[in-house]
Structure 1
Amino acid sequence: MTRLAADNANVHWVDITDRDEELRQQSIDPERALRELHVKDANGQIHSEIDAYQLLMRRAPILRPVGWLIGLPVIKPILSRLYRRMVDKRLERTGRG
């Protein structure tokens, strides 16, 4: 049986609603937090957008190749633009754009 994540993945998802001050203490702009995924690694470094997805994918053995692929110099900027466009549309649909 293939596992999506390792037993020691330790990924904790946090709802950012009403946490503006906490975000600022982590050096994350609350507006930017609405538009980009942010991940803190084991060393306390914050990664955002595609870099954050790559970090998460490295934790899931089956997704490691995808994480490597989306980081390629030709693919990453294209994917980044598409990501931002999709987020902007989602925020507009929900009245937060």
Structure 2
Amino acid sequence: MDPYRVLKYPHKTEKSIRLVEKENKLVFIVDRKSSKEDIKKAFEEVFKVKVDKINTMITREGKKKAFIKLKKGYPAADVAVKLGMI
């Protein structure tokens, strides 16, 4: 699957910014049909970082939200700055 179809856009809220700073996590809205493995491959390919863990949830609006934790040595803040989140 095309990585740009899997990853739709970063979720920019106060809570997601706090997760970047405290837990080295990024929050993305992703394609609802994509699996955790699809999300991991797409994220690693696009941003050239290593993913440690992914948690997903379906929001009340029907969107799929992925909480992407990066491995140590790959700061989420660097990716967030590239995306213009902070």
Q: Shared fold (TM-score greater than 0.5)?
A: no
The structure with the larger Rg is 1
Task: Give the structure-2-normalised TM-score.
Answer: 0.28
Structure with a larger share of its residues in strand: 2
Task: Give the structure-1-normalised TM-score.
Answer: 0.26
